[in-house]
């Protein structure tokens, strides 16, 4: 019983931390939000150089509190800066993860 309680507590703390971090996203610029989102998605995956986005641009916009146009424009800016490459509408290749991390700091 003690192990279940401890595991439940650990999950609750982790979820609260995630919600707190997400609420802080709302005070960041669009570029910072999108960069943080991409890094978050990469952290949930294998940690390789590509990430398969689990949602549409509209869903990403809703999640980040942005418009779909802003998300699309920000992806274009990140491509032009050399930070990412778009292999498809949902597959992102990291070309300069350090640049994304600096934006997310």
> What is the pTM assigned to this prediction?
0.72
* Residue from 69, 75, 31, 32 nearest 53 by CA: 75
CATH no., domain 29-104: 1.10.10.10
- Say what the pLDDT of residue 22 is: 55
Q: Which residue has the higher pLDDT, 93 or 12?
A: 93
Domain ranges in the chain?
29-104
- Say what the pLDDT of residue 28 is: 84
Rounded CA-CA distance 80/74 in Å is: 10
pLDDT 10s digits, 3-33: 777 778 787 877 777 666 655 556 689 999 9
- Say what the pLDDT of residue 24 is: 57
pLDDT 10s digits, 28-58: 899 999 999 999 998 887 767 899 999 999 9
Per the listing, tokens 């952290």 go with 43
- Specify the 3-state DSSP secondary structure of 45: coil
- Helix (H) or strand (E) holding 97, with range, is helix 97-104
- Say what the pLDDT of residue 33 is: 93
């Amino acid at each position: 019983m003690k192990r279940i309680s401890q595991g439940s507590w650990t999950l609750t703390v982790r979820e609260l931390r995630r919600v707190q971090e997400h609420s802080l996203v709302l005070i960041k610029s669009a570029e910072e939000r999108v960069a943080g989102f991409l890094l978050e998605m990469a952290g949930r995956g294998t940690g390789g150089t590509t990430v398969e986005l689990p949602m549409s641009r509209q869903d990403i916009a809703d999640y980040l509190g942005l418009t779909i146009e802003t998300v699309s424009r920000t992806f274009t800016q990140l491509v032009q800066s050399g930070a990412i490459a778009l292999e498809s509408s949902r597959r992102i290749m990291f070309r300069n993860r350090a640049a994304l991390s600096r934006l997310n700091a």
